[in-house]
Amino acid sequence: QVQLQESGPGLVKPSQTLSLTCTVSGGSISTDSYYWSWIRQPAGKGLEWIGRIYTSGSTDYNPSLKSRVTISVDTSKNQFSLKLSSVTAADTAVYYCARDQVALTGTLDSWGQGTLVTVSS
Amino acid sequence: DIQMTQSPSSLSASVGDRVTITCRASQTISVYLNWYQQQPGKAPKLLIHVATGLQSGVPSRFRGSGSGTDFTLTISSLQPEDFATYYCQQTYSRPYTFGQGTKLEI
């Protein structure tokens, strides 16, 4: 059974770049059956889809974040990553990585446990 | 973006009750609607896909229905572990958007 695990700094200064990695275990990230996604959730609030990447490297981003987001994949390490630039306090949230089914595009069937990122000086 | 609106925002119920949560899309999304359950401090868990499909391993007391703009999640007999927050999500078009959540409380 696939497992996903987020990692990265829990504290980022305003205007800097947030960087997170998701390590996939129990399955290959190179499969053509899934996209690999990032979602975030501010404390006490709802879920926001950030974007996703396919094994080929093709990406889809939320237009509201597109100018600041980069998602990349490292198939040799079975990892994918999120970079969010020019962060502000509004980017403080729990960040989740998740698996997204190609056959049911957008359907997130496996999630990491989430990692809290706080933007503060 | 497609806006998803859930009602109610919170709901009090008891073990054994039947409850229904509603999700409305700002435009038609066919059947491209998923439901997730989130326990406090945990990641969301997929319950229902494409409006009515029960995700593997999810108990049959969870049932999804609807199409177009109006959808419902029904839990037929609440169990203690069902008290959580529920989110709908449209996958009709990107960016994929979620409802604001419905908190199911005892």
A17: closest CA of chain B, how far (Å): 22
d(CA B72, CA B103): 15
Straight-line distance from the first to the last Cα atom of chain B, in angstroms, rounded to the nearest whole number:
34
Query: For the segment B29-52, what is each residue's pLDDT rounded down to a tens digit?
Result: 999 999 999 999 999 999 999 999
Q: What is the share, in percent, of chain B residues with pLDDT greater than 70?
A: 100
Contact B98 A62 (CB under 8 A): no
Q: What is the pLDDT of residue A4?
A: 98
Contact A48 B89 (CB under 8 A): no
Query: For the segment B49-80, what is each residue's pLDDT rounded down to a tens digit?
Result: 999 999 999 999 999 999 999 999 999 999 99
List Cα–Cα distances, B105 to A35, B8, B14, B58, B74, in angstroms. 34, 12, 8, 20, 15
The residue among A60, A54, A58 whose CA lies nearest residue A101 is: A54
For residue B43, the one-letter residue type is A
Sign of CA dihedral A77, A113, B4, B32: positive
pLDDT tier for residue A98 given thresholds of 50, 70 and 90: very high
* CB neighbours of residue B8 within 10 Å: 13
The minimal CB distance from B49 to the residues A60, A64, A104 is found for A104
What are the start-end ranges of the H helices in chain A? none
Q: What is the pLDDT of residue B57?
A: 96
Helices (H) and strands (E) in chain A, counts: 0, 11
What tokens appear for B5 in the block?
């609106």
Contact A108 B46 (CB under 8 A): yes
Interface of A with B (CB under 8 A): 46-49, 60, 62-64, 96, 98, 104-109, 111-114
- How many Cβ pairs within 8 Å bridge chains A and B? 57
Contact A49 B97 (CB under 8 A): yes
Average pLDDT, chain A: 97
Contact A108 B101 (CB under 8 A): no
Q: What is the pLDDT of residue A49?
A: 98
Is the predicted pLDDT of residue B106 greater than 90, yes or no?
no
d(CA A110, CA A24): 10
Q: In the predicted model, what is the mean pLDDT of residues B74-100?
A: 96
Contact B91 A105 (CB under 8 A): yes
Chain A residues in contact with B95 (beta carbon < 8 A): 49, 62-64
